[in-house]
Amino acid sequence: MGNRILIVGSYDTKDDELTYISSVIAGQGGVALTMDVSVLGNPTAPTDWSKHDVVAAAGTTIDAIIGSQDENIAMQAMARGAAALAARLYHEGQFDGVLVLGGSMGTDLALDLCAALPLGVPKYIVSTVSFSPMIPPERLAADTQMILWAGGLYGLNSVCKASLSQAAGAVLGAARAVEPPRRDRPLIGMTSFGKTVLRYMTTLKPALEARGYEVAVFHATGMGGRAFESLAAEGAFAAVMDFAPQEVANHLFGSAISAGVDRMENAGAKGIPQIVSIGCYDLIDFVGWQPLPEAFKDTPAHAHNRLLTSVVQTADQRRDLARVFCAKLAKAQGPVVFLLPTQGGNEWDRPGGPLSDPEALAAFVDEMRHACPPNVQLIELDAHINDPAFHDAALQVFDAWVKAGAL
């Protein structure tokens, strides 16, 4: 038997499109299983899991949600049911990958369903609003794939068939090829940027692997931080080295390049030991092809590429950020060490560097000293984050935790 793909959508309005996807999957040697998330209408043929099965998993009935006379309330109930039912079916071993089709309503549901499935389950959302800024980062599962449903608002045509057939092939191919996480070694989650600006990972990753750990480094540019937080929320990490928390600043100061409001919170909520530091803490990233907000027009900036421009925070903004860091870490249920390299947090802010601001750095250090909560051990280093003293200190903390049995 071929790989089994769960196809989810509103069969009352998208029956032709969903049936076409099933036919492509079957034609490629896969097995199409179907779940209907309609509310008002019915499919032309029975699905493997009906809308009644879905709504029952949400603890209600179709008549009850229709009675609300509110399509938003109704679809949220269907989303809860679809997520719960899909999670149960996957853990029962009934499918190998999932494809969800929809417009904005179906995408809202799809985000919940994909978030309910573990990392390594192929998850494809085919949507008329794929990649839209209306999709908040905190709702994206770590390995969600999105495909734009071009020309797909109503009915089949050659344009939308091109998207739908690629999506069917993509999810089936992913189900055949996927190598799920092995979990045979404890996993360390680390945040960073590229080696031109932050370098600790090049030393720490092999050092931690030599100690018997697996290390996953997340690119902290919004989506990478979201994946990091998603896995932390699952309890996937034995410890985290959250050394590039700049997404907290992005969110605080209104950048669209955000990892969500809960950045720097999920590891603590799970009691996962955290070593935290200040990689690029002093920068706010904005979308490079858009004009900078008026408030930052006269701020020193670094155009990283055509996608990304970083502006430098003022002393007052850094004090605000230090207080936010401390408030988030104060809620942690596990051990927390904040490594504070007092000579700077990225290659551009070294003394004499293009983005150096010693007075603002001093303000941040001062605020961290005053705001640091009792549950956080603050370790100051007379060093820069890219100096050997920094990664040596991180390993010293980590090894002490291992020796004490904290990991």
Please tell me if the domain spanning 4-177 has the same topology as the one spanning 187-404: yes
C-beta atoms surrounding 361 within 10 Å: 22
Q: Residue 239 has what pLDDT?
A: 98
C-alpha radius of gyration, the chain, whole number? 24
Report the candidate in 20, 35, 26 with the shortest Cα–Cα distance to residue 172: 26
Quick: pLDDT tens for 286-330: 887 888 888 887 788 778 788 888 889 999 999 999 999 999 999
Report the candidate in 1, 26, 10 with the shortest Cα–Cα distance to residue 165: 26
Q: Given pLDDT bands bounded at 50, 70 and 90, which one contains residue 269?
A: very high
pLDDT of residue 389 exceeding 80? yes
Report the candidate in 381, 255, 369, 257 with the shortest Cα–Cα distance to residue 319: 369
pLDDT of residue 1 exceeding 80? no
Report the candidate in 220, 274, 223 with the shortest Cα–Cα distance to residue 249: 220
Q: Residue 384 has what pLDDT?
A: 97
Tell me, rounded to whole angstroms, the distance of Cα 365 from its chain centroid: 29
- Residue spans of the domains in the chain: they are 4-177, 187-404
The values of phi and psi at residue 316, to 5°, are -65, -40
Report the candidate in 316, 144, 108 with the shortest Cα–Cα distance to residue 230: 144
Q: Which long-range contacts (CB under 8 A, 24 or more apart) does 308-313 make?
A: 308/221, 308/257, 309/285, 310/280, 310/283, 310/284, 310/285, 310/286, 310/355, 311/283, 311/284, 311/286, 312/282, 312/283, 312/355, 312/357, 312/360, 313/249, 313/253, 313/282, 313/283, 313/284, 313/360
- Rounded CA-CA distance 65/62 in Å is 5
Instruction: For residues 149-156, give the mean pLDDT.
Output: 82
* CATH T-level fold of 4-177: Rossmann fold (3.40.50)
Quick: pLDDT tens for 233-248: 989 999 999 999 999 9
Alpha-helix runs per DSSP H in 275-355 = 315-329
Instruction: For residues 77-85, give the mean pLDDT.
Output: 96
Q: Residue 406 has what pLDDT?
A: 84
Report the candidate in 9, 131, 132 with the shortest Cα–Cα distance to residue 75: 9
| Cβ-contact 268, 333 below 8 angstroms | yes
pLDDT of residue 3 exceeding 90? yes
Instruction: For residues 104-113, give the mean pLDDT.
Output: 94
Average pLDDT, the chain: 93
Percentage of the chain with pLDDT > 90? 72
Q: Residue 244 has what pLDDT?
A: 96
DSSP code, position 345: S
The values of phi and psi at residue 31, to 5°, are -120, 120
Q: Given pLDDT bands bounded at 50, 70 and 90, which one contains residue 46?
A: very high
pLDDT of residue 152 exceeding 80? no
Report the candidate in 345, 337, 321, 343 with the shortest Cα–Cα distance to residue 379: 337
Burial class (CB in 10 A: 0-12, 13-18, 19+), 351: exposed
Order of strands, sheet of 97-102, starting from the edge strand that comes earlier in the sequence: 31-36, 4-9, 97-102, 123-127, 144-148
Q: Residue 183 has what pLDDT?
A: 79
Per DSSP, the three-state class of 256 is coil
How far apart, in Å, do the first and last CA atoms of the chain sit? 42
pTM: 0.83
Instruction: For residues 197-226, give the mean pLDDT.
Output: 94
Q: What is the CATH number of domain 187-404?
A: 3.40.50.12030
CB-based contacts of 93: which residues, under 8 Å, 6+ apart?
none
- Rounded CA-CA distance 139/103 in Å is 16
Q: Residue 10 has what pLDDT?
A: 94
